[in-house]
Amino acid sequence: MDHSGHQGQDMSGMAMPTQSDPHPGHAMPTPIEPPNGQDMPNMAMPAAVPAEPAGPAGTDLEPGNLPPPPVATDRPADRYFDPRAMAAAQANLLGEHGGMTFHKVLFNIAEYQAREARDGYRWDASAWFGGDIDRLALKSEGEGSFGEAIDHGEVQALWSHAIDPYWNVQGGIRQDVGRGPDRTYASIGIEGLAPYWFDLGASAFVSTRGDLLARVEGDIDQRITQRLILQPRVEANFAAQDIPENGIGAGLSTLELGLRLRYEVAREFAPYIGVSWDRSFGDTKRMARAAGEQASSTSLVAGIRFWF
């Protein structure tokens, strides 16, 4: 049976589609023919380039010291519980997460000194009580010879305020006792932790009589093992004028260099041995010799460093 004149129709006479059209009623685009019979290259879409950040972000940002955000004053729990009870709970929470008070007492030097002449002793201690920002600080140092009165001793009571995570500014009073008349000074200074773990401090003192003194000191703990630690130490004292009654001359008056090796039986308790070299300069040296004292001395020392 010849169906040449009935293409596209089935046997019942109904029209049959020759090809399924996915987009009926829409014109299909004409394909582009390659020129001169050449194959068209693979035209891949360019990959999306991520946008560069406008500036540093995350850990690339410089560290700062901006104040913390304000403490929230609204408590949703107040809708269901007594607001006074919730206020007390919030105050307790803040006190346990940054608002605590701490204290520490440290004897960095408490030692016996074996000298060429009469043996002696020396101490250098500090204590503080307060929070992370503001504290009450106490300092004391001095020295003397066994069988004699204290050669020099001082006590400082200071207010200490943190100006950044590593440095504190301090101000208060200093009282001296020992050789010559006692003196009372106003004190201002700064102390903190310098790069490479140097503990540094600098202070200026003005007495009730107008005498101006200054001090620079520093030390560093060089850990040899987990328990064996070497501590170099330096302290330099200066005066703006001669104070003959206290045996102090203008300029650089005294310099102390020390080297102490300690063994930490516990972190809080460490006996040590070492050597200390002290020297007077300028008019202070002249006054010391006039009083029959040595201008410089070297001491072998043994003591205990402890804190609690």
Average pLDDT over residues 111-125: 93
172 vs 134: CA distance, rounded Å = 13
**In b/e form, how buried is each residue of 183-203, taking b as 16+ CB within 10 angstroms?**
bebebebebbeeeeeebbbeb
pLDDT of residue 294: 86
Closest Cα to residue 78, out of 70, 88, 65? 88
pLDDT of residue 70: 76
pLDDT of residue 125: 97
Is 60 exceeded by the pLDDT of residue 30? no
290 vs 272: CA distance, rounded Å = 35
117 vs 195: CA distance, rounded Å = 39
CATH number assigned to the domain with residue range 111-307, chosen from the 4 options 3.40.50.720, 2.40.160.40, 1.20.140.10, 3.30.300.30: 2.40.160.40
Q: Cβ contacts of residue 203 below 8 Å, gap of 6+?
A: 170, 187, 188, 189, 190, 214, 215
Q: What is the pLDDT of residues 283-300, one digit of tens each?
A: 999 998 988 888 899 999
Parse the chain into domains and list their residue ranges. Answer: 111-307
Burial class (CB in 10 A: 0-12, 13-18, 19+), 30: exposed
- The pTM of the full predicted model, rounded to 2 decimals, is 0.71
Average pLDDT over residues 257-280: 97
